[in-house]
Amino acid sequence: MNHLKTWHDLPRRTWDAVLERALHHRKSREWTEGARGKNLGMLFFNPSLRTRTSMELAATQLGAHSTTLVPGQGTWGFAWDDAPMLGEEAEHIEEAVGVLSRYYDALGVRLFASLTDYDADKAEARLEQFIAASSVPVVNMESAFWHPCQEMADAATLADHFGGDLAGKRFVLSWAFHPKALPMAVPNSALMAAARSGMDVVLACPESHLLDEEIVSMAKATGNVSVVHDIDEAIDGADVVYAKAWGGPLAYSDSDHEARIRKELSRWRVTSARMATTRDGIFMHCLPVRRDVVVDSDVLRSSAARHLLQAEYRLHAQKAILEYVWGLL
């Protein structure tokens, strides 16, 4: 079954085929009937603007039908544990997914990190439980550690901007200040997309906020990846600056300590002055973004900004992803 859990557990040729198809979809902008008769069911356990709308449109533009559900809001609340169901939740996830599998040809699910149980989040315990209950392909629409839909859109944005000539380009994934400790799904995925692209990848973060060490090692084994702990040194000469906030492993092991450290790191922001030190570099962010906290509004309004193109590529990438999961590529 063609699940999309993460890209790195799939063959490289699948990544290449979906990427090429995403670029094709942006160029052609055609609506097809290739997935006519297919039905996509989506469950959003967490909020979304881009993923929800672009997935619905992706299905429509392929001739398919989609339904969006927000568990507990118009559906029963779902229980996940193996325990007598005496609480508010009236339906177990196994029945819910089992039933939906009999109606739909693929299921999309958004299940953010708990930010409390590191091992369970890293093992994608909830996503795995969801997949185990499904008899149809499951698309990860952002899980605890990975966001493959964003990852493909980011790769397509980079391929589009540089015309496929990515070798030797300096890609900086920069940690950014944020009032909250955010999950690591997007930075993990952005790091892997950049590593896979052949660019010179710089992971820039305070020493307190390194990503999971095994994931950084996996990125290093995939491409040319280095780590620096100085934002100015990282951005100087960059071709791409991708900003993202995350709490990191410390947010799980000692959230109070992480919050205290983070409060002192507000200078980790992508400013116009920092962008002026790039090699005519572009700015990327997955959105939503906090203006004048993560990045200067001037940068978002400048000709360097590519965050809206990234968001647009969510649609094209997800059309290609649905074609992949339905065996239509």
**Which residue ranges make up the site for ligand CP (CB under 6 A)?**
48-51, 142, 150, 286-287
Least Å distance, CB 135 to ligand CP, is 26
Output b/e per residue, 235-270; b: 16+ Cβ within 10 A.
beebbbbbbbbbbbbbbbeeeeebeebbeebeebbb
CB 97 within 8 A of CB 126: no
- Nearer CB in complex with ligand CP: 172/190: 190
What is the dihedral sign for C-alpha 109, 113, 116, 122? positive
If you count them, how many residues does the chain have? 329
- Nearer CB in complex with ligand CP: 126/307: 307
Least Å distance, CB 65 to ligand CP, is 20
Both tokens of 200, joined, read 């010179």
Least Å distance, CB 86 to ligand CP, is 33
- Nearer CB in complex with ligand CP: 44/171: 44
Q: Compute how many other C-beta atoms are within 10 angstroms of the C-beta atom of residue 92.
A: 17
CB 251 within 8 A of CB 258: yes
User: Strands 170-175 and 138-140, how do they pair?
Assistant: unpaired
DSSP conformation class of 83 = S
Hunting for tokens 């300590």 — which residue is that?
257
- Nearer CB in complex with ligand CP: 39/48: 48
Least Å distance, CB 99 to ligand CP, is 25
What is the dihedral sign for C-alpha 178, 183, 184, 185? negative
Pairwise CA distance, residues 283 & 302, whole Å: 9
Which residues, 6+ apart, have CB-to-CB distance to 104 below 8 Å? 39, 40, 41, 67, 136
Least Å distance, CB 161 to ligand CP, is 18
- Nearer CB in complex with ligand CP: 150/278: 150
Least Å distance, CB 215 to ligand CP, is 19
CB 110 within 8 A of CB 46: yes
Pairwise CA distance, residues 205 & 175, whole Å: 5
Q: What angle do CA 151, 134, 252 make, to 5 degrees?
A: 50
Least Å distance, CB 308 to ligand CP, is 12
Least Å distance, CB 49 to ligand CP, is 4
